[in-house]
Every structure is written in structure tokens, then in C-alpha cells.
Amino acid sequence: MVTTQAPRPPQAPRDPRATRGPRRPRPPAGTPRTAWLGSTAVMAVLMLAAVYFMLPMVWVLLSATKSPGDLFSTFGLWFSDSPQLGANLSRLMGQDGGAFLRWLGNSLVYSGVGALVAMAMSAACGYALAIYQFRGKELLFATILGGVLMPATVIALPLYFLLNTVGLTGTYWSVLLPSMVSPFGVYLGRIYATSAVPEEVIEAARLDGAGEVRIFLTIASRMMTPALVTIFLFQFVAIWNNYLLPLVMLNDTRTFPVTLGLTLWNSQIQRDPNFYTLVVTGSAVSALFLVGVMVSLQRFWRAGLTAGATKG
Amino acid sequence: MTAAPVARRRGRAQRHGGAAVTLIGPFVLFFLAFFVAPIGYALVDSLFTRRSSGLGLGPPERVFVALDNYVQALSTPVFVESLGRLLLFSVILVPMMVGTALGLALLLESGKARFPRVFRVVFFMPYGVPGVIAALLWGFLYIPATSPVLQGLRGVGIDLTPLSSDTVLFAIANIALWGFAGYNMLILVAALQAVPAELYEAASIDGAGEWQTIWRIKLPLLRPSIILVTVFTIIGTLQLFVEPLILRPLTTAINSDFTPNLAAYNQAFSYGNANLAAAMAVIVAVMAFVASFGFLRLVNRKGNRAW
């Protein structure tokens, strides 16, 4: 089937448009009327789906401009008569001594640093698995792949007790260190290195006297750049969206990532309805932030997705 | 770790054992510390219990109780109920997810869609919204006071209560679908775009219609990707934790032990029974493996390869 032993290099660096045109099956000629009907139906379904996927985003962006009262008294999919986005934003930033910005910064540190280290370690490991032969290699690889199948929630609880015995819980490290492991990154790094790093290049570098580690750092890693970016992105989003790990590990609100902070505010809604605007505006800002990052880097996602698709 | 001088597929291996260790070492070390060790810890811890000594004086002692924690977990009605609920949730979500992702991918790649790139971005966008935020947003959309959808439906005489006990699993499944359908769709789109154009041309010359092309060419070639998406979704359902936690204040239909993960979390942090929590976590992990491998075996049996 499509499963090939040596998948083609995942296609991130290529412009996706290059693959379109000729591949796309043209609607069969003849019967123009039914073809036209067909494409209208297709567009209708796609538009409907687009409305569905955008609905919560549109709602939260509009709601971020409303006062707590208007949130309940005005129609959710249109502006209120007295928009107050500026006031909401400044309340968001000022609440609890600027906690929101701190949480956003924490999220950036957890996700940025975690994903960067995860990328370096898993790419090196994947590269070595692709290039070198040693006993137990496939067993090691299979074990790492097993990690992909393990639900993260199952790891988090025992990890808490484990880190508790060494006194790490409650610190930045308790979230940062576990976030640096990306089994999927090893998988992606291996299949990418297998196809994108030519043997001749490595041999030539060896003849020039370069050490093995240096070959990886200066030559191979450059050839693996699209895979590196993809690993980084996947891990960044995974860490940013992970809720359970910081929930069990952290107790000091100053170390919270933004997801944990927002649920903290959400739990105070019953006590003080003003927290509605804080939660809504905070959700809008943090959702918008990551969606922006993702969409602008969208083409890099294709490398990982193509790789996953061919290996199945 | 030594470089074995045999079976060198790519002919590179000799004398580089040191380099291999340097490159592989850091990952393996972290993998052992933060993946393997917790699982080992849970396995061991689930076989013990902490009993306070005699009169309750002195620190509690750790006693080996073999499988008692598992027996206790599986005879706790709320936990067994949560397992059943999770099963039901999978039955609801998996077909919804695979069907939606597949349908959207086929439509986008049918050649009849205009602006496919725009649609791809729009469908993929929710993947970047953390599950917590998605649950918060849909929570607002599930209560009549703030939901324009429910208000609109009420306007035309339809009264929906997504968070009632009959529909709450669908409400949660919808949040998961919203977040991940676009991601899964991209996996399938990537696989569809890898299909060589000649196949379509050949089919067209042979007079295959639209449906025949989908049935005879696209679906068989998408098979590995569909399996991948299904396995990821099964594993995803077993993680169920955040959504019920966030929606819980909004409805009485969600109890504190709604999913096995919530039950384990409560055992560990509310009731201080870490050993029972470990047993529960292991049960969820075993379920993940049984479900994933069971599904893979099912689809890889010879008789089922027809499609």
C-alpha cells in the first residue's frame, strides 16, 4: 500500500502550491449541469463547516469587547452598544498585579524552552537511529514509539509522586523537564534523516576529518531543518495545551502557565461576576496568540503530517 | 552500546559507537526519567498500600498487598461507571471524528472546492486553542444565558440543553471534535495529495464515476492514514479529563469522578490514596494499549483488508 520502507522526504520545504494543479482530478467532462450542482453542494458543506469551526472564536472575540452585564444581555454574535475592549484589556493586564502577563510569559518559557530542548534531543536521537547500526536499535525505537501511545494523563500522576521524592514539585523544573521529552520527535527525526541526509555527504565530511558529533551539529542538522521546525511546533503546542501536568505539579500561582491561571479565575466567577470578563478576554487573547503563531507557520506542519501519513 | 559490525544496511556503522551514545544518550536519559520511571513507579506503587500503625501513632507503614488496589478500584462503583462512560464516549467520538475528518478531506480534495487553502486553515485553527480554553468557550455556548446558538434555536421553538445528563457526552465529544477534526483532516489531506495523478486519470479513462473513484482508489490508499487517525483518537478519548473538569460547575450531570482520570486524580489529591490512584492510572494505560493494539489487529486481519 502507501506504506513505504523509506518514505520520501517529508515535503515541508516545498511550496504546497507546487503539488496542486496537475494532481487535482478534474471533474469529468460532459454533464456540466450536475457538475455545477456538485460544486455548489461541496461549497455549501464547506461553508457550514467553516461557520462551525469559527463560531466559538467569533463569539469570544466579540464577547471580549463587552461589559459583564452586556455579556448576558446582548446577542452573542454581535457587538454591544457600548464596546469596551480597551477597558477589558487593561483590567486583564492589571488584575492580581499583572498576573496574566506573567502567566503568558510562563507559558512562553515552558513551551519555548521545552520545545527547543525537546527538538535538539529528539532530532539527535532520531538522526543517530537513522545513521548508525547497533544491537538493540529496533527494540529501542519500538520502546520510544510505545511512548507515543501512552496517554499523557497516565504519566502525570506517578510523575508527581516521583518528583515529590526529590523535592522538585512546585518548581518551574517540574513542568519544564518532563516537557523536554518528545517520542514523536524521535520518530520524525529518524525518518527524515533517513531520506534527507545523503550518505555521501557524511562520508565526505569524515574524510575531511570532521568528528561524528560535529557532522550532526553543523551539516546534518541543517539538512534536517524542516523536520526540526516541525518537531518544535508540535512540541510547543503540546506543552502550551498541556493542562494536567502543571495542574498536579504547581501550587504557586506565580509559576502558573496561562491555561492554569485562566481556570483559577474561572473558579472565582461564582463569587464575583467581574471575573467573567477576565476569563473571556483572557481566553480571547491567549487563543488568538497561539492561533496566530500556528497559522503563520502552517506550511511547516505539513512535514510532520505527511510523515505520519506515509508511515501509518 | 557497541557498533555491531554486522548487517549494515547503509554501510556506515563502524567505530562510531561513542558518537551514537553522545547523540542518543540525552534523549534516552530523559525518556527513562520522565516516561519509563513514572510508569514503573505506578506499577510498583499500585501493589502497596499505606496503613497507619496500631494506634495511629508514628508514620504509616508501606504494606505489600499484591493486587488488592486493582480489586478495590474495579469494585468501586463510581470508577467502574467512569470506565463504562469512557467506553461510551469512545463509541460516540471515534466515528464522529473519523467521519468528519475524512468527509472534509475528501471534499477539499474533490477538485470542486474553491479556496481550499483558506478552508484548511480555518478547519485547522482550533487545534491551537488549548483544551481548557476550548472547554471554557463551549461552556459559555452551552448555557442559554450566553449562547447565541441556543437563543436562536429557542427563537424558532427548539429547546436544547446540551449539558443535561442525556446529552452531556455529546457536548463533550463536540468540544473534542471541534479541536481535533481539522488536525486529523490535514493528515488525510496530506495522504490524498500523495496519490499519483495517473491513478485518477486511469480511473477516469476506465469510466469510473466520482463515487467509484472514492471507493476504489481514495479510500484504499487512505487506509493507513485512517487507521492512524483512529488510533490517535482512541488514545485521545482515554485522556478525557479537562473538559468535564471545566464543565462541571455548569451542570449536575457531571460528577467529580466522571472519567477514570478524574477519579484517579481525586484519589491522589483529595483522598490521599496514592496507591489506589496508581492502580487506576495503570488500568487506564492498559486500556490504551488494549484498545490501540486491538484495533490494529482487527484492521490488519487478512479478511478485513477488502476495503
Round to whole Å and give the CA distance between A190 and A192: 5
Question: Does one domain contain both B112 and B259?
Answer: yes
Query: What mean pLDDT do residues B3-19 have?
Result: 53
The pLDDT, as a whole number, for residue A37 is 56
Question: Does one domain contain both B173 and B250?
Answer: yes
Question: Does one domain contain both B120 and B24?
Answer: no
Do A302 and A288 meet the contact criterion of CB atoms below 8 Å apart?
A: no
Question: Does one domain contain both B97 and B167?
Answer: yes
| B226: its cell numbers | 485512517
pLDDT in tens, A37-91: 578 889 999 999 999 999 999 999 888 888 888 888 788 878 887 788 888 888 8
In a domain, B9, yes or no: no
Give CA A109 to chain center in angstroms. Answer: 14
Which residue has cell 454581535? Answer: A78
Cβ within 8 Å, pair B224-A310: yes
In a domain, B37, yes or no: yes
In a domain, B294, yes or no: yes
Residue B96 has pLDDT above 90, yes or no: yes
**Cα–Cα distance list, A19 to A206, B118, B121, B124, B193 (Å):** 36, 17, 17, 20, 8
**Cα–Cα distance list, A208 to A65, A119, A201, B29, B85 (Å):** 63, 28, 11, 32, 62
Cβ within 8 Å, pair B39-A155: yes
Round to whole Å and give the CA distance between B307 and B300: 11
In a domain, B6, yes or no: no
pLDDT in tens, B65-87: 889 899 988 999 999 999 999 99
The pLDDT, as a whole number, for residue A309 is 47
Cβ within 8 Å, pair B30-A240: no
Of the candidates B96, B97, B123, the residue with the CA atom closest to the CA atom of residue B109: B123
Residue A3 has pLDDT above 50, yes or no: no
Do A53 and A39 meet the contact criterion of CB atoms below 8 Å apart?
A: no
Helix (H) or strand (E) holding B50: strand B48-51
Here the CATH number for the domain that contains residue B87 is 1.10.3720.10
Q: pLDDT: is B62 or A8 the higher one? A: B62
Residues from chain A that touch B273, judged by Cβ atoms under 8 A, are: none
Boundary residue ending a domain (B64, B81, B103): B64
Question: Does one domain contain both B95 and B52?
Answer: no
In a domain, A116, yes or no: yes
For A:245-284, CB contacts with B below 8 A are 248, 259, 262-263, 266-267, 269-270, 279-280, 283
Enter the DSSP assignment of A135: T
What is the C-alpha end-to-end distance of chain B, expressed in Å? 44
Query: What mean pLDDT do residues B248-265 have?
Result: 90
In a domain, B277, yes or no: yes
| A125: its cell numbers | 536521537
In a domain, A292, yes or no: yes
Residue A223 sits in which domain range? Answer: 85-311
Helices (runs of H) and strands (runs of E) counted in chain A = 16, 0
Residues from chain A that touch B130, judged by Cβ atoms under 8 A, are: 240-241, 243, 259, 286-287, 290
Cβ within 8 Å, pair B20-A298: no
- Cα-Cα-Cα-Cα dihedral sign, residues A275, A280, A281, A285: positive
What is the number of structural domains in chain A? 1
In a domain, A182, yes or no: yes
Residue B246 has pLDDT above 70, yes or no: yes
The pLDDT, as a whole number, for residue B37 is 92
In a domain, B233, yes or no: yes
Question: Does one domain contain both B55 and B85?
Answer: no
Question: Does one domain contain both B145 and B287?
Answer: yes
Residue B186 has pLDDT above 80, yes or no: yes
Helices (runs of H) and strands (runs of E) counted in chain B = 14, 2
Which residue has cell 501536568? Answer: A245
pLDDT in tens, A148-180: 878 777 889 899 989 998 999 999 999 999 999
Question: Does one domain contain both B38 and B161?
Answer: no
In a domain, B2, yes or no: no
The pLDDT, as a whole number, for residue B12 is 45
pLDDT in tens, A254-269: 999 999 999 999 888 8
**Cα–Cα distance list, B138 to A278, B175, B243 (Å):** 16, 7, 10
In a domain, B40, yes or no: yes
Cβ within 8 Å, pair A154-B45: no
What is the number of structural domains in chain B? 2
Of the candidates A188, A252, A254, the residue with the CA atom closest to the CA atom of residue A226: A188
Question: Does one domain contain both B82 and B230?
Answer: yes
Cβ within 8 Å, pair A294-B128: yes
Residue to substitute from A43, A53, A164, interface B, most B β-carbons within 10 A: A53
Closest A-chain CA to B4: A134
pLDDT over 70 percentage in chain B = 91
Q: What share of chain A is helix, strand, coil (3-state, %, to 5)?
A: 75, 0, 25
Here the CATH number for the domain that contains residue A149 is 1.10.3720.10
pLDDT over 70 percentage in chain A = 83
Question: Does one domain contain both B101 and B154?
Answer: yes
Residues A194-223, buried b or exposed e (16+ Cβ, 10 A)?
Answer: bbbbeeeebeebeeeebebeebbeebbbeb
Question: Does one domain contain both B168 and B217?
Answer: yes
Residue B268 sits in which domain range? Answer: 73-306
Question: Does one domain contain both B119 and B268?
Answer: yes
